[in-house]
């Protein structure tokens, strides 16, 4: 297997996923307090599901953690030396105007994977997510579910130690949702730290190891999933849960 020789595919199953810490992180561009101040630590086995009403700061939290946004105050730190290899899957998958295969080889190329290994790694990832038949199809004419799987395959090929997912299933039908959830489980089993936002309580129940509940740009609760779903501690989480159940 080629992948054994590649540093990017070093087995990371054995070591625990890197832990992520927010230290009084705030994000307030132009004086608008959009997030924080927040302090928490993600060091459990996960997956961590980030929940909360619209405008709670879920997406902001992911972007701050991933480094797409820089905190105005405070710091985002990782265990180990520097930030680990990370990938993010967006609500609307961002795909290049090229074939499915070329989308993956491009991502590998910008991560400095030697040219001779790229195609094999890319095909391996496509096969894992059931996209082998679509390798030469332009990525942007794939169906919604296939696009999201391609985005996951791209992340897979990069062997991230941490994977962020921003409501990856909100626009998908049940079959596609199931495929994405299976993929998330696979990442989890490979030892990748999963941090995922969702609106879907059922999905959160299926996937979550722990739940980070946000409201008003602040962390209201960070508890193991069984605690969160059975006896939520914070008033906001109780309201959120009952609101969902009533609806």
Where on the chain is the footprint of another protein (CB under 8 A)? 63, 66-68, 86-88, 90, 94, 96-98, 106-107, 110-111, 138-141, 158
Q: How far is the CB of 226 from another protein (least distance, A)?
A: 32
Q: How far is the CB of 25 from another protein (least distance, A)?
A: 18
Between CA 113 and CA 115 the distance in angstroms is: 6
For residue 86, give the 3-state DSSP assignment: strand
Q: How far is the CB of 85 from another protein (least distance, A)?
A: 9
Looking at beta carbons only, is 21 or 111 nearer to another protein? 111
Q: How far is the CB of 77 from another protein (least distance, A)?
A: 18
Looking at beta carbons only, is 53 or 138 nearer to another protein? 138
Pair type for strands 20-27 and 35-42:
antiparallel
Looking at beta carbons only, is 86 or 225 nearer to another protein? 86
Looking at beta carbons only, is 60 or 219 nearer to another protein? 60
Which residue carries 């989308």 as its tokens?
A: 103
Tell me how far apart the terminal alpha carbons of the chain are, to the nearest angstrom: 50
Q: How far is the CB of 61 from another protein (least distance, A)?
A: 15
For residue 90, give the 3-state DSSP assignment: coil
What is each CA distance from 22 to 71, 110, 136, 218, in whole angstroms? 10, 28, 41, 12
Which pair of tokens denotes residue 15?
A: 């070591």
Phi, psi for residue 238 in degrees, rounded to 5: -60, -45
CB 71 within 8 A of CB 51: no
Looking at beta carbons only, is 68 or 239 nearer to another protein? 68
For residue 55, give the 3-state DSSP assignment: coil
Q: How far is the CB of 235 from another protein (least distance, A)?
A: 34
Looking at beta carbons only, is 84 or 232 nearer to another protein? 84
């Amino acid at each position: 297997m080629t992948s054994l020789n590649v540093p990017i595919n070093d087995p990371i199953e054995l070591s625990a996923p890197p832990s992520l810490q927010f230290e009084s992180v705030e994000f307030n561009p132009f004086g608008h307090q959009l997030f924080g101040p927040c302090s928490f630590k993600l060091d459990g086995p996960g997956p961590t599901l980030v929940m909360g009403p619209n405008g709670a700061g879920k997406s902001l939290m992911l972007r701050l953690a991933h480094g797409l946004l820089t905190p105005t105050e405070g710091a985002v730190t990782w265990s180990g030396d520097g930030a680990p290899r990370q990938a993010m899957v967006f609500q609307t998958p961002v795909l290049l105007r090229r074939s499915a295969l070329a989308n993956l080889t491009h991502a590998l190329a910008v991560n400095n994977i030697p040219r001779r290994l790229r195609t094999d790694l890319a095909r391996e990832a496509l096969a894992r997510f059931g996209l082998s038949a679509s390798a030469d199809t332009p990525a942007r004419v794939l169906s919604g579910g296939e696009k999201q799987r391609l985005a996951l395959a791209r992340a897979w090929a990069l062997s991230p130690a941490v994977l962020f997912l921003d409501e990856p299933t909100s626009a998908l039908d049940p079959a596609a949702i199931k495929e994405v959830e299976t993929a998330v489980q696979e990442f989890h089993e490979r030892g990748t730290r999963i941090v995922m936002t969702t609106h879907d309580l059922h999905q959160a129940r299926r996937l979550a190891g722990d739940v980070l509940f946000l409201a008003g740009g602040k962390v209201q609760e960070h508890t193991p999933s069984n605690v969160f779903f059975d006896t939520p501690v914070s008033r906001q989480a109780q309201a959120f849960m009952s609101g969902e159940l009533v609806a």
